[in-house]
Chain A
């Protein structure tokens, strides 16, 4: 934690970020949207039926889905501008001539953009505590959910960071980060469903598409499937992987994030020396 407050880039980013009005507005807007959704939903529920607190898992699912969508939206946007933003402001070259290593620059940038998202999460805790009143969810489920969200944020952040290092302009990098995030969330799901259909068509009766290990793995990489499996809402076929799907997902996400961050650090190096002794170009 000490390193956190003495890391020059983190201190600078925090100063900059929390001084700008934009950050405050994003926070306010986020809380407003989440609050409006929650209260609106509860209000409608009260109108429609005589619901009893303690049996409302539905509210939780809706909240979780909405919040997940928010993170998909916010995380890449916040990190997709970090490196390319420095480049556009023409401060990146100066930064690279200091004693900060490229790897330290990318990790500090990631930490600061994620810190802001975690602030959003913390700010929405009161809303969640309201949900506890309605219950319908076990503490262990909630904990798993938190871990699940955390690795997703980490992954989306790394994805944005990578695009930001790789592509010169913030606008393009944000669009590509969104594209990749969309593919990760929706694209993999569509591929799974498509393959399931296909296998069902061509394989003899009695064989289940999810008997194949590949399908299981693919399915466990899709955050929507995993989220529903955590929430215990059956997506049709329950997953029978060699480990808990969410655990597999967490490991895979962490691995991919690490690859992306290291790769970004490598891309950011102004002068890359080849390891193999021969020179490019």
Chain B
């Protein structure tokens, strides 16, 4: 549904995007992760026909973004990272405006808008002025706006930015609902655990290059041969730490009293060997395994060193 081929974008001398190749299939949710300035928003702008690539091609729903922007726009809902609303409009009028901007006949709009407001849990705010809504509500209204023309593809640039935890969870629930409706979604975020639950695939981008891409587990188990591991012991922390730091595969050892966290560069066999050594030394191990509850570590591990 979304495909880019050797996509490159330069702002003057700065290369914001270098030879990006992406392929997102229909019905998949693709999470786009990267530090600030990595080029996520740039990619999304190009896909949304708002920015011309310097070279390379990009396709949305089979249409070339440069050659057939009208068709792309019809099959695409785009939500920018920052967007404004019109202050003097009510929520329904706001959606009505965008519905008519997509040439949806007036007769259909009323029920469509009611459905959309229902979907994003804003039915009770239908007659409220848009600028009286809270940040989270505006964000949800923005999402409803992307959906007025029922596009197959959604491109959401940090939809959860600036939201409190509750609002984030609400947003995530809505996105899950959209996923179950079979939409193809490209979503970028800084809050990584959030993506893990929602996404089928993840792409890590850094300095304009895609450095890892694949299924969520694949990426976290280390496309670059790095995984993040956890070790919990009952006592004898010193010996445990000594064993860990002796191992050639352990890096970035982080010790929180009896709870260790480290990057492991070896294979699965090496992991097993490390564990058996710990046991052989008589260290009471309660937990030894991949730390997959925290994708942020994976993110840091993967992007580590690429920048410098």
CB of B98 within 8 Å of the partner chain: yes
CB of B209 within 8 Å of the partner chain: no
Contacts A90-B80, A94-B98, A97-B73 supplied; 4 other A-B pairs, CB < 8 Å: A11-B97, A12-B86, A90-B82, A273-B66
Of residues 66 through 118 on chain B, the ones whose CB sits less than 8 Å from some CB of chain A are: 66, 69-70, 73-74, 76, 78, 80, 82-89, 93, 97-98, 100-103, 106
A95 contact set on B, CB distance < 8 A: 101
B66 contact set on A, CB distance < 8 A: 271, 273
CB of A201 within 8 Å of the partner chain: no
B51 in complex: contacting residue of A19, A20, A89, A271, CB < 8 Å: A271
Query: Would you call A271 and B52 a contact (CB within 8 A)?
Result: yes
Known: A12-B97, A15-B89. A270 touches B73 (CB 8 A): no
Q: B-contacting residues of A (Cβ < 8 Å)?
A: 6, 8-9, 11-12, 15-16, 19-20, 89-91, 93-100, 270-273, 281
Q: A-contacting residues of B (Cβ < 8 Å)?
A: 10, 45, 48-52, 54, 65-66, 69-70, 73-74, 76, 78, 80, 82-89, 93, 97-98, 100-103, 106, 145
Interface contact tally, CB-CB below 8 A: 79
Query: Would you call A99 and B73 a contact (CB within 8 A)?
Result: yes
Query: Bound state CA distance, A93 and B46, in angstroms?
Result: 12
Query: Would you call A12 and B49 a contact (CB within 8 A)?
Result: no
In the A-B complex, the 5 residue pairs with the smallest Cβ-Cβ separation, listed nearest first, are: A8-B100, A89-B84, A98-B101, A90-B84, A16-B88
Query: Would you call B74 and A97 a contact (CB within 8 A)?
Result: no
* 8 pairs, CB–CB < 8 Å, chain A vs chain B: A12-B89, A16-B86, A19-B88, A91-B85, A96-B49, A99-B70, A270-B52, A281-B54
Q: How far is the CB of B155 from chain A (nearest CB, A)?
A: 9
Known: A94-B80, A271-B50. A99 touches B86 (CB 8 A): no
Interface SS majority for chain B: loop
Query: Bound state CA distance, A95 and B80, in angstroms?
Result: 11
Query: Would you call B85 and A16 a contact (CB within 8 A)?
Result: no
Q: For residue A16, which residue of chain B has the nearest CB? A: B88
Known: A15-B89, A15-B93, A271-B52. A97 touches B76 (CB 8 A): yes
Query: Bound state CA distance, A95 and B78, in angstroms?
Result: 11
Query: Bound state CA distance, A272 and B106, in angstroms?
Result: 32
Query: Would you call A99 and B88 a contact (CB within 8 A)?
Result: no
Q: For residue B67, which residue of chain A has the nearest CB? A: A273
A97 contact set on B, CB distance < 8 A: 48-50, 73, 76, 78
Query: Would you call A96 and B50 a contact (CB within 8 A)?
Result: yes
A9 contact set on B, CB distance < 8 A: 97, 101
Query: Would you call B80 and A98 a contact (CB within 8 A)?
Result: no
Query: Bound state CA distance, A8 and B98, in angstroms?
Result: 8
A15 contact set on B, CB distance < 8 A: 88-89, 93
Query: Would you call A94 and B88 a contact (CB within 8 A)?
Result: no
A8 in complex: contacting residue of B49, B82, B88, B97, CB < 8 Å: B97
Query: Bound state CA distance, A90 and B78, in angstroms?
Result: 13
A11 contact set on B, CB distance < 8 A: 97, 100
Query: Would you call A20 and B88 a contact (CB within 8 A)?
Result: yes
B84 contact set on A, CB distance < 8 A: 89-91
Query: Would you call B78 and A94 a contact (CB within 8 A)?
Result: yes
B145 contact set on A, CB distance < 8 A: 94
Q: For residue B76, which residue of chain A has the nearest CB? A: A97
B103 contact set on A, CB distance < 8 A: 99
Query: Would you call B89 and A94 a contact (CB within 8 A)?
Result: no
Query: Bound state CA distance, A93 and B82, in angstroms?
Result: 10
Q: How far is the CB of A78 from chain B (nearest CB, A)?
A: 16
B69 contact set on A, CB distance < 8 A: 271
Query: Bound state CA distance, A97 and B156, in angstroms?
Result: 13
Query: Bound state CA distance, A94 and B83, in angstroms?
Result: 8
Query: Bound state CA distance, A39 and B136, in angstroms?
Result: 54
Q: For residue A20, which residue of chain B has the nearest CB? A: B88
Query: Bound state CA distance, A91 and B145, in angstroms?
Result: 12
B78 contact set on A, CB distance < 8 A: 93-94, 97
Query: Would you call B83 and A90 a contact (CB within 8 A)?
Result: yes
Q: For residue A90, which residue of chain B has the nearest CB? A: B84
B106 contact set on A, CB distance < 8 A: 6
Query: Bound state CA distance, A219 and B100, in angstroms?
Result: 46
Query: Bound state CA distance, A94 and B82, in angstroms?
Result: 10
For A9, A12, A19, A90, which residue has the most chain B Cβ atoms within 10 angstroms? A12
Query: Bound state CA distance, A15 and B100, in angstroms?
Result: 14
Q: For residue B86, which residue of chain A has the nearest CB? A: A16
Query: Bound state CA distance, A99 and B65, in angstroms?
Result: 14
Known: A93-B83, A97-B76, A97-B78. A270 touches B102 (CB 8 A): no
Query: Bound state CA distance, A79 and B291, in angstroms?
Result: 57
A100 contact set on B, CB distance < 8 A: 101
Query: Bound state CA distance, A265 and B218, in angstroms?
Result: 47
A93 contact set on B, CB distance < 8 A: 45, 48, 50, 78, 80, 83
Query: Bound state CA distance, A271 and B93, in angstroms?
Result: 29
Query: Bound state CA distance, A95 and B73, in angstroms?
Result: 11
Query: Bound state CA distance, A90 and B82, in angstroms?
Result: 7
A6 contact set on B, CB distance < 8 A: 100, 106
Q: How far is the CB of A168 from chain B (nearest CB, A)?
A: 15
Q: For residue A94, which residue of chain B has the nearest CB? A: B83
Query: Bound state CA distance, A6 and B104, in angstroms?
Result: 11
Q: How far is the CB of A6 from chain B (nearest CB, A)?
A: 8
